[in-house]
Amino acid sequence: MAHERTVKLRVKRQDTPGSPSYWQEFEVPYEPQMNITTCLQLIAAHGRTAQGQQAAPVAYDANCLEEVCGSCTMLINGRVRQACSALVDDLLSTPDDVITLEPMTKFPVVRDLFVDRSRMFEHLKRVRAWVPVDNSVDDTPPPLMSQKVQEQGYPLQRCMTCGCCVEACPQVNEHNAFIGPAAIGQAMLYQKHGIGQNLAEERLEALRDTGGVAGCGNAQNCVKVCPKGVPLTDAIARANRQLTIYSLRRWFDR
């Protein structure tokens, strides 16, 4: 009988929040063009480790399956990225290589590879990364955005809040309240928005507070790992410039 090619995976597992983690090995049938999400589905279907022991399906988060929602972000061979766009063929140097899967380390683990990214969404709230609207009916056309503002905003709005930049940033850790690059990038997106700029001062106040822009250590890991090419370091530099001008203005206005 011909030997069926398989994919070997080593998965870091954790049964409940706060419980000890452990590793399990799995082997699934190889398919051309398969991605890591497919591997996880095959693990669930097979229900056994590579050693033949019964194993619960590996928990992970996913939604769009096309690198748009960011929910399947995890560490794959030590690199933070999305499971749905990580092709097995690109991860293996030889067919015998073992692919390792781990949850992100900067977010609390819910179970296995599934983490709670609420912290990121709280940081978006903190920097008012939204356009303020009320429920009143208003026929006034929205303010037009110049070509330049549109071109500045477009790369920033590609952010899918996946957590890659937060995971890679050494300044985001248990000793530091730094909100991370994604929230700063989104704050800068709305600073220029025709309606969003109504909250410009509140955003700057949040960004100069504890854990704000001053927490950036300029490691620049964020731009290296961002799957969407969001210009995060440019956004942080822009935030710094706006904060300097804002602080000077406040000082002269005293």
Our finding on whether 163 is near ligand FES (CB under 6 A) is: no
Interface mask toward ligand FES for 76-95; x: CB under 6 A: ------x-x-----------
Q: In angstroms, what is the minimal distance from the CB of 98 to ligand FES?
A: 22
Residue from 14, 35, 67, 152 touching ligand FES (CB under 6 A): that is 67
161 binds ligand FES, rule: CB under 6 A:
no
By CB under 6 A, tell whether 191 contacts ligand FES: no
Q: Is 69 in the site for ligand FES (CB under 6 A)?
A: yes
The neighbouring-strand residues paired with 81 are 74
Task: Identify residue 50 by its one-letter amino acid code.
Answer: A
Q: Provide, for the chain, the percentages of residues in helix, strand and coil under a 3-state DSSP scheme, each rounded to the nearest 5.
A: 35, 15, 45
Choices 21-29, 60-68, 174-182, 231-239 (CB under 6 A): range interacting with ligand FES: 60-68
Nearer to ligand FES, 37 or 240 (CB): 37
CB 178 within 8 A of CB 169: yes
Q: Is residue 64 part of the contact set for ligand FES (CB under 6 A)?
A: yes
For residue 108, give Cα distances in angstroms to 123, 125, 187, 208.
15, 19, 24, 26
- Cα–Cα distance, 81 to 225 (Å, whole number): 8
Contacts of 117 by beta carbon, 8 Å cutoff, 6+ apart: 71, 107, 161, 163
For residues 9 and 216, which CB has a smaller minimum distance to ligand FES in the complex? Answer: 9
The neighbour count for residue 252, using CB atoms within 10 Å, is 7
Q: Which is nearer to ligand FES, 40 or 239 (CB)?
A: 40
Only one of the segments 24-32, 56-64, 135-143, 231-239 lies at the binding site for ligand FES (rule: CB under 6 A); that segment is 56-64
* Beta bridge pairs of residue 21: 14
Q: Closest separation between CB of residue 225 and ligand FES, Å?
A: 14
For the stretch 137-161, what's the b/e string if a residue is b when 16 or more beta carbons lie within 10 angstroms of its beta carbon? eeeeeeeeeeeeeeebbebbeebbb
71 binds ligand FES (CB under 6 A): yes
Please, which residue, 73 or 152, has the CB nearer to ligand FES? 73
Q: Which stretches of the chain bind ligand FES, using CB under 6 A?
A: 62-65, 67-72, 82, 84
